[in-house]
Amino acid sequence: MIDDICTTDTQCGPGAYCNRGTCRLGCNDNADCRDGETCGADNKCVANTPVDLSCSSTADCGPCETCIGGQCEVVAVVCVTDSQCGIEKGCLDGFCHFECSTNADCPFSHSCQSGICQADATLPAECTANSECAQNETCVNGLCFSECTSDTQCGDMMMCNQGVCEPDFRRGIECYRSADCGGEGVCVDGLCTVACDGNSECRTGTCDLGYCTR
C-alpha cells in the first residue's frame, strides 16, 4: 500500500517501490513524480538534486532509518504486531522494544515511556560524526556507542548491529514454558512450536526431533 512502511520493493505491491522506508507509486513520465524529481528508466522517481542523508539524530531520517555515523541508513523492520515480539517486548514503529515500568528496565539511551522503552530525547547530544567519539566508538543517533563483533561485547539488553552496540530491537523470547504458548503449543528454546511425527504436519515443512522447526 502507498505510504506504508517498507524495506524492500516487494512489500509495496505491483507498480510501487520502496523509497527510504516508504512505499511510493512508480512512474511512466516526469508528470507522475513530485516537484524536483525525474522519472528514471526503472520507473522510479529520482531527485534531481541528491538527497542529503546526513543526520545528527534519527529524527532527521526517514521511516525504517537510523542515524549511524552521521548518515541515515535503512534498518529492516522486524515486527508489525506486539505478538511478534514475544512476552517481554512490544512492537513500535516496526521494531521490538522492551516493555518497562521504570527507566531501570530499559537499555542504554532509552527511557520508559508509556510502558515501553524508547529513545530518550532528553539526553544531550554527544556527537554528530564518528570523529567526535572515543576510539572504538561510533556515533549513532547523536550518542557514542561502543563498536563490537558479537553481542557478548555489548551491555544488558543490547545487541551488536552492523559492528555497533545498540538497544536490542530483535524479536524477544516467546515463552518460558509450554503454558505460555496456548493450545497445543510447546515451548522449545524460547520459541512456541508444535509436536510432530512428520514433515507433512508442519507449516514450515520440516519436523526435526519431534517438533516443527521455526
Euclidean distance between CA atoms 212 and 185, whole angstroms: 10
CB 150 within 8 A of CB 159: no
What is the domain partition of the chain in residue ranges? 9-47, 58-167, 178-212
- Contact in structure between 90 and 97 (CB atoms under 8 Å): yes
Collapsing DSSP to helix, strand or coil, 173 comes out as: coil
Residues of the chain where predicted confidence (pLDDT) is lower than 50 = 1
The predicted model scores a pTM of 0.57
Closest C-alpha among 167, 171, 143, 172 to residue 157: 167
Bridge partners for 83 per DSSP: none
Please name the helix (run of DSSP H) or strand (run of DSSP E) that holds residue 25, with its range, or none.
strand 22-25
Dihedral (C-alpha) 140, 142, 144, 145: value to the nearest 10 degrees?
A: -30
- Residue-wise pLDDT for 7-54, tens only, equals 678 777 788 888 776 778 889 999 888 888 899 989 988 888 877 788
Q: What pLDDT shows up at residue 4?
A: 63
* C-alpha–C-alpha distance, residues 52 and 174, integer Å: 40
Distance of CA 9 to the CA centre of its chain: 17
